[in-house]
């Protein structure tokens, strides 16, 4: 298991690295020893934050939590990540795409997130680039939920056009497609 740890206003001391390694051993059980886990630890006026990202088979499983102290934030983020992995595995088995998440190939690298700047002037302060993988709308909803986002842009495998799925306030999902 490889753990890439970055700190934003936080020193990643050896005890913190050791604690992260111990807590993330739960994740290693699900993926095996070849998994690469990206961790961003941060501190701001609200407290400490921990963001854990695991890239696997084109999907990103991500959790982000904040707490009053660093170790609590790590605990919350890892626990949330384990719950998401279990939910992901259940959905894969239910859809009969794979019998085990351990058999899925890994994405070797993900692009590190750039630091957010002030958005007070209404300017574009961050640009994200990603590969639009063709997938059905149901798979896009799964990916959106794994990332913890409210929308997801993808290439619809049925229409071969760029589409957007989004979470509605009533708990259902919406699909935006361009006119033919």
pTM of the model: 0.56
Domains defined along the chain, listed by start: 1-110 (3.30.160.100), 128-180 (3.30.505.50)
Q: Write out pLDDT tens, residues 137-156.
A: 888 888 888 888 888 899 99
Q: Write out pLDDT tens, residues 4-35.
A: 889 998 888 899 999 998 888 877 777 766 77
pLDDT of 42: 92
Long-range pairs for 101-107: beta carbons < 8 A, 24 or more residues apart: 101/30, 101/31, 101/56, 102/30, 102/31, 102/32, 104/56, 104/57, 105/56, 105/57, 106/31, 106/34, 106/35, 106/36, 106/55, 106/56, 106/57, 107/55, 107/56, 107/57, 107/58
């Amino acid at each position: 298991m490889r753990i890439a740890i970055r700190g934003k206003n936080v020193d990643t001391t050896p005890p913190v690295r050791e604690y992260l390694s111990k807590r993330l051993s739960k994740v290693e059980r699900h993926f095996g020893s070849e998994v690469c886990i990206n961790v961003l630890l941060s501190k701001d006026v609200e407290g400490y934050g921990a963001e854990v990202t695991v890239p696997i088979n084109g999907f990103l499983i991500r959790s982000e939590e904040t707490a009053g102290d660093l170790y609590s934030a790590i605990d919350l983020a890892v626990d949330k990540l384990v719950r998401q992995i279990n939910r992901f595995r259940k959905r894969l088995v239910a859809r009969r795409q794979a019998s085990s998440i351990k058999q899925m190939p890994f994405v070797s690298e993900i692009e590190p997130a750039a630091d957010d700047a002030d958005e007070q002037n209404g300017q574009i302060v961050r640009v994200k680039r990603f590969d639009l993988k063709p997938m059905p709308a149901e798979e896009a909803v799964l990916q959106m939920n794994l990332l913890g986002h409210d929308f997801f842009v993808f290439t619809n495998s049925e229409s071969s056009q760029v589409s957007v799925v989004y979470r509605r306030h009533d708990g259902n999902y919406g699909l935006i497609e361009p006119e033919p």
